[in-house]
A and B are shown apart, each in its own frame.
Chain A
């Protein structure tokens, strides 16, 4: 039972353009969602989060959108930079302190 799905294993964009990474979930009990970025041979690092009571959260070049009725969220990066090239994981959590359930990840490549 895969509660969080990232259906695109990879995404390639040009520097300066927008990157849109998608995530779908099935667990209606998720109360919050987080995006993490992971470089090879490193641990995941927190990027941005959104509560289930909101539909948008923005932090600099990063914006996360949540559509609860569709059980879908997306991460927008604009403008994309080569340093953004990494694997991005979407995760959902039910209550504070509970485990995060992650998707399979999307490899983003930003070409100069």
Chain B
């Protein structure tokens, strides 16, 4: 029973490139959350999705960032035209409907050169 799977674990991009981070939730989980941890900071909520729907994107930067959770396949966090300040660990978490406890993946570490 695999947990929350994130890939890639490490991603290096140059300024201006695009970064795509993928998250496969635990089996049976229909809710996906993305969090970002900047260096020396805590976990900041970005977006909450259910299949084909964005439920809460109040933590998403207004530009360059987007997220989706299609009917089939993993959830994708997309960052366009990356800048050095986007360097961080991006964590995906999932849960099933009605649950409080989020299960986190191991994270994707983005480095922008």
Is A34 touching B100 in the complex (CB atoms < 8 A)? yes
Is A104 touching B41 in the complex (CB atoms < 8 A)? yes
Query: What's the nearest-Cβ distance from chain A to residue B30, in Å?
Result: 10
Q: Which of B66-113 contact A (CB under 8 A)?
A: 91, 93, 95, 97-107
Is A44 touching B104 in the complex (CB atoms < 8 A)? yes
Question: Size range of the interface on B?
Answer: 20 to 34
CA distance A91 to B33 in the complex (A): 14
Residue of B nearest to A104 (CB): B42
Is B43 touching A97 in the complex (CB atoms < 8 A)? no
Counting from the closest, the 7 A-B pairs by CB-CB distance are: A43-B104, A104-B42, A102-B43, A43-B106, A99-B45, A44-B104, A105-B42
Is A99 touching B98 in the complex (CB atoms < 8 A)? no
Counting chain A CB atoms within 10 Å of each CB, the highest count among B31, B91, B98, B100 belongs to B100
| A32 interfacial by beta-carbon distance below 8 Å | yes
Is A93 touching B100 in the complex (CB atoms < 8 A)? yes
Binding site for B on A (CB under 8 A): 6, 32, 34, 36, 41-46, 49, 89, 91, 93, 96-105
- Contact status of A101 and B45, CB under 8 A, knowing A43-B4, A43-B91, A96-B98: yes
| B18 interfacial by beta-carbon distance below 8 Å | no
Residue of A nearest to B59 (CB): A99
A sample of 10 inter-chain contacts (CB < 8 A) reads A6-B42, A34-B101, A43-B107, A44-B91, A49-B100, A97-B97, A97-B99, A98-B48, A101-B45, A102-B42
Contact partners of A105 in chain B: CB under 8 A:
42-43
CA distance A91 to B35 in the complex (A): 13
